[in-house]
Amino acid sequence: MTKAILLLSGGLDSSTCFLIARAEGFEIHALSFDYGQRHAVELERARDVASRYGAASHHVVRVDFPAAAASALTNPALPVPHRALGKDPIPITYVPARNTLFLANAVALGEALGAFDVFIGANALDYSGYPDCRPEFLEAFERTANLGTRAGVEGARFRIHAPLLRLGKADIVRRAVELGLDFAFTSSCYDPGADGAPCGTCDSCLLRKKGFEDAGVVDPLRP
């Protein structure tokens, strides 16, 4: 089987991406990050997904962002916006250069393992406006990976796969149903309760809610 690195947050998108990569026949080496996020429950969900659906390995890497104070996801003093979907072009939940750092780690691990396919659950349609989820960013990063690694210079080719990039959230939910994802194993909320329960009103919860409603599917985590 061809090895692949898959960025696994434990959310709906990355978990669906996991099952897509598995259906395509890849041996999946999941990679998750503990970056001081307030929604750390997602790491538990990532472990659940990796275990349940047969990851060949699951690495959890600690990342200390140099600008952690700039995002509501990493700075507890900044409140997560509620019922504010679409009001800000790039909301305060944006973490500076997060996907750049995550993908760099994925490429580093991939080069070490001989895994030159990297999967990310980025979405450029139903998302919060993050610049590092756009196709032009992913295309540029793929070029960078192939220019800046020994593997790339010696003829291997890194490929960044974003199978959800142009899907609406309802389409992602439908695809997840087709692939057999247990939605109870996922977490999308940016501001969960102490027990991990979703708040229901942050951007991510609102996007998830709309996706399930538009797909005609019941979300087991709906608050």
Q: What is the pLDDT of residues 10-67, one digit of tens each?
A: 999 999 999 999 999 999 999 999 999 999 999 999 999 999 999 999 999 999 999 8
- What's the pTM value of the predicted model, to 2 decimals? 0.95
CA distance 203 to 191: 10
pLDDT per residue as tens digits for the range 90-143 = 899 999 999 999 999 999 999 999 999 999 999 988 666 899 999 999 999 999
Structural domain contains residue 221 = no
Q: How many residues does the chain have?
A: 223
Quick one: tokens of 121? Answer: 């659950």
Euclidean distance between CA atoms 191 and 198, whole angstroms:
7
The CATH number given to whatever domain includes residue 76 is 3.40.50.620
Any domain includes 222: no
Residue 200 located in a structural domain: yes
Q: Which residues of 140-171 are buried (b: 16+ CB within 10 A; e: fewer)?
A: ebbebbbeebebbeeeeebebbbbbbebbbbb
- Indicate the number of domains in the chain: 1
18: containing domain: 3-215
Residue 14, domain member (yes or no): yes
Q: Is residue 106 part of a domain?
A: yes
- Reading phi first (left if > 0) and then psi (alpha if -120 to 50, else beta), residue 120 is in beta
